[in-house]
Amino acid sequence: MCTECEDLIDPKLITLDKVITQYQHHKGPLIPVLQQAQEVYGYLPTHVLQHISKGLRIPLARIYGVVTFYAQFRLVPSGRNVINVCLGTACHVRGGAKVLETIEKELKIKDGATTEDRRFTLEVVACIGACGLAPVISINNEVHGRLLPEQIAGILAEYE
Amino acid sequence: MAEKQRILVCAGTGCASSGANKLISTLEAEIKLQGLEESVSIVGTGCQGFCEKGPTLVIEQHQVLYTSVTPDDIAEIVATDIIKGERVERLLFIDEVTKKPVSTLSEIRFFAKQHRIVLQNCGIIDPQKIEEYTARDGYSALQKSLKDMSPDEVVEEVKKSGLRGRGGAGFPTGLKWGFCRGAAGEKKYVICNADEGDPGAFMDRSVLEGDPHSVIEGMLIGAYAIGANEGYVYCRAEYPMAIKHLEIAIKQAEKAGYLGDNILDSGFNFKLNVFAGAGAFVCGEETALMASIEGKRGMPRVRPPFPAVSGLWGKPTNINNVETWSNIPHILRNGSEWYAQMGTEKSKGTKIFALTGKVNNTGLVEVPMGTTLREIIFDIGGGVQNGKTFKAVQIGGPSGGCMPEEMLDTPVDYDSLAQAGAMVGSGGLVIMDETTCMVDIARFFLSFTTKESCGKCTPCREGTKRMYEILDRITKGEGKIEDIDTLEYLALTIKETSLCGLGQTAPNPILATIKYFRHEFEAHILDHKCPAHACSALLSYSIDKEKCKGCGLCAKNCPTTCITGEKKKPYVIKEDDCIKCGTCVDKCKFDAVIRA
């Protein structure tokens, strides 16, 4: 193959095709394939869903139904940093809601939204299991625990 | 050569979040620096249970626990404890009653009152090494079952042990196995439900992270008894470390001949797969979980047919949760009679609870069934944090209920708790003090269940929303007295008309809260007051001009910019921007901030 043609092939698509081939003959391949596709692309754009639909011979409507059912899948790209605010019971009673409110005020966005400069995406999660450190947030899977509202601004400043 | 001294560093998710990995690398460097590599080994273990004081480490030889250890403490621990054999007093646990440092594990109340069966390896072995599991009798129960027992005998043994499902409902495990064993069909499946979605419960995660082989061994024995040759562990994607440890354990078990074809020359074959869930609380319900493995939306379906008859891909399937599976090897190894000695008449064995919230010792606790809530919260948990007063304990997550002080002598077993309007559920215990508002807690649980309802049954989908709206109104001081009756009416309807456990139990937290804390609902509705000072709509903050010295500490710590003023003059709170977090009240040294 000439080098020009190689440039035309999207390397992400090659990875996706490998995943589809790997799972094609498995029972119940859809969810693992979607999970890996999201890992490659960061989210699930329409053309990727269409590609998976063809590859696995599953109707696009059914795939869309699955994608919108589970909290893990996202149809729009996230910001550069993803903040998960834990609002499990332990975090709730130790003041998690105040932490969330402070972040919402600081970033001027609500749960599920991304800041205009794409610096942060804010998501509320039910429990990340670090109840001993409640209230906690995690930013890009890095956990910050035993939080007080007044610490928020300083923590957010660490992320570009 | 003398056996190596082991330093056990907790590397479970809780301690890892508070810096355990840095601790391990610092410790490794220090041991190397001191030339102790030959005599000391460092083990990164699963959860040791004492999350509140994390990161924790244990010097195994003399059973000393060091708490809240930072990398800066490592040199001193090595020099004083490992080399000189003396204790580093300042890092020892301080007993809440005597206020004195306690040097050995068995003297710490948190551990002394526990009875660890399922957790006996957690925090002690390296979960990523199969040889540490087999050295502690691991896989001997499998050998015994395959070599000396028929599948029927295994089922019978589990029946006699009295083990009941630890996932929440408490169905007798042996009976469940018997149904699946008796079902017609060549191909059968066993599934481990590790979709631990209850907020505030992390025992299943800790078992998978800290002792994954015990779950695999339990599943192998179950599969042999039932006649299944394939299994799945359905684990939340939010638990990456649990998935990783499980995958490592499966590879090692395959290599050692415990998984695969013709296991231990018995002719028994078993293949185990890991399935990462995609984030849906309802998938903890068994029919929804199977739909999810099949690649569908995780929605529950009508039973019968029960999974034992027609489950995954229409084949007979047996589902148990992590803790249930992990009990199995102990029962087979030590016998059903040994197991049945523990617990109460109808609830045998031990149960793990995750103790969280406003309690001194947050962590993982395993006690015999029938232990009272008071013993767990006050003796093991060390009572309520910061000298506050106990108000309630929430047990069983979004399916359970809140119980007040006068119910604390209730023994924790399936039947006593159900009678009290709560349930064992997953085993989350969240402690609440005088600053927690019970109406707000009821609203909190409903906000969770409304989000997680799959939408299939109208009463659950719409009813929980209506209940949430009513509770939201009450917390804002806009409730009507008849709202309480409406809530009870809706709750009973949703319970009766929902298909799965989510809807059937979603109203429990509200019913229990109304039952025990009706006066708090009435205070919100009639007096427009939140007795706990927690509902922000019913609160206002202002500064007492007489008391304020103008130090500016409140403004400096305010997370918004609603407090303004000049030094040495009284400050002012601008109500519109105030998020009512109460930081100013906590910071003020002159009691000048008024909360009303």
Q: What is the distance between the alpha carbons of residues A112 and B451, in angstroms, rounded to a whole number?
A: 13
| pLDDT over 80 at A5, yes or no | no
In terms of DSSP bridges, do strands B593-595 and B563-564 run parallel, antiparallel, or are they unpaired?
Answer: unpaired
Question: Looking at chain A from residue 27 to 56, which residues have their Cβ under 8 Å from any Cβ of chain B?
Answer: 27-32, 34-35
Q: What are phi and psi of B3, to 5 degrees?
A: -70, 145
pLDDT at A2: 57
User: Are B363 and A30 in contact (CB < 8 Å)?
Assistant: no
Assess contact for B359 and B206: CB atoms under 8 A: no
Contacts of B203 by beta carbon, 8 Å cutoff, 6+ apart: B196, B322, B323, B352, B353, B354, B364, B426, B427
Q: Which of B197, B239, B354 is closest, CB to CB, to A126?
A: B197
Angle at A135 between CA A134 and CA A140, to 5 degrees: 105
Contacts of B401 by beta carbon, 8 Å cutoff, 6+ apart: B394, B395, B420, B421, B422, B423, B508, B509, B511, B512, B513, B515
Amino acid at B180: C
The residue with greater pLDDT, A92 or B579, is A92
Assess A87–B contact: CB distance below 8 Å, yes or no. Answer: yes
Q: What are phi and psi of B359, to 5 degrees?
A: -120, 150
Q: What is the distance between the alpha carbons of residues A42 and A62, in angstroms, rounded to a whole number?
A: 21
**Residue B325 CB coordination number (10 Å):** 30
Assess contact for B198 and B425: CB atoms under 8 A: yes
A90 contacts on B by Cβ (under 8 Å) = 199-200, 356-357, 362, 430
Assess contact for A89 and B428: CB atoms under 8 A: yes
Burial code of B238-251, b = ≥16 C-beta within 10 A, e = fewer?
A: bbebbbbbbeebbe
pLDDT at A120: 96
Q: What is the distance between the alpha carbons of residues B100 and B196, in angstroms, rounded to a whole number?
A: 37
Amino acid at B407: M
pLDDT at A4: 62
Assess contact for B431 and B530: CB atoms under 8 A: no
pLDDT in tens, chain B (596 residues): 467 899 999 998 888 888 899 999 999 999 999 999 999 999 999 999 898 888 999 999 989 999 999 999 999 999 999 999 999 999 999 988 888 999 899 999 999 999 999 999 999 999 999 999 999 999 999 999 999 999 999 999 999 999 999 987 899 999 999 999 999 999 999 999 999 888 888 999 999 999 999 999 999 999 999 999 999 999 988 888 999 999 999 999 999 999 999 999 999 999 999 999 998 999 999 999 999 999 999 999 999 999 999 999 999 999 999 999 999 999 999 999 999 999 999 999 999 999 999 999 999 999 999 999 999 999 999 999 999 999 999 998 888 899 999 999 999 999 999 888 888 888 899 999 999 999 999 999 999 999 999 999 999 999 999 999 999 999 999 999 999 999 999 999 999 999 999 999 999 999 999 999 999 999 999 999 999 999 989 988 989 999 999 999 999 888 888 899 998 989 999 888 888 888 888 889 999 998 88
| DSSP codes, B109-167 | HHHHT---STTSSTTTS-TT-HHHHHHTTTTHHHHHHHHH--HHHHHHHHHHHT-B-TT
Q: Where are the alpha helices (DSSP H) in B183-295?
A: 203-210, 212-226, 240-255, 286-293
Check: pTM over 0.95? Answer yes or no: no
Q: What is the distance between the alpha carbons of residues A141 and A30, in angstroms, rounded to a whole number?
A: 25
Assess A132–B contact: CB distance below 8 Å, yes or no. Answer: yes
Interface test with B, best of A22, A27, A75, A93 (most B CBs within 10 A): A93
Angle between helical axes of A46-56 and A11-23 (0-180°, round to 10): 30
Query: What is the ipTM score, two decimals?
Result: 0.91
For residue A82, give both structure tokens: 């993803």
- How many contacts does A have with B, using Cβ atoms within 8 A? 150
Amino acid at B92: L
Q: Which residue of B has its CA nearest to A66?
A: B297
B363 contacts on A by Cβ (under 8 Å) = 132
Q: What is the distance between the alpha carbons of residues B150 and B156, in angstroms, rounded to a whole number?
A: 10
Per-residue pLDDT band at A116 (split at 50, 70, 90): very high
B579 contacts on A by Cβ (under 8 Å) = 98, 101-102, 105, 149
User: Are A129 and B362 in contact (CB < 8 Å)?
Assistant: no
Assess A125–B contact: CB distance below 8 Å, yes or no. Answer: yes
Angle between helical axes of B483-497 and B508-526 (0-180°, round to 10): 170
pLDDT at B1: 47
Residues A28-80: tens digit of each pLDDT: 999 999 999 999 999 999 999 999 999 999 999 999 999 999 999 999 999 99
pLDDT at B467: 97
Q: Which residue of B has its CA nearest to A151?
A: B559
| Beta strands per DSSP E along B327-413 | 350-357, 363-368, 390-395, 401-404
Choose among A47, A54, A70: nearest CA to B298.
A70
Strand order in the sheet with B40-45: B40-45, B5-10, B57-59, B64-66
Q: What is the DSSP letter of B197?
A: -
Residues A119-147: tens digit of each pLDDT: 999 999 888 878 888 999 999 988 899 99
Angle at B354 between CA B219 and CA B41, to 5 degrees: 70
pLDDT at B4: 87
Q: Which of B298, B436, B583 is closest, CB to CB, to A93?
A: B436
Assess contact for B332 and B221: CB atoms under 8 A: yes
Q: What is the DSSP letter of B388?
A: P
Q: Which residue of B has its CA nearest to A99?
A: B581
Q: Is B568 exposed, middle or buried (0-12, 13-18, 19+ CB in 10 A)?
A: exposed
Q: Chain A closest CA to B200's CA: distance in Å? A: 6
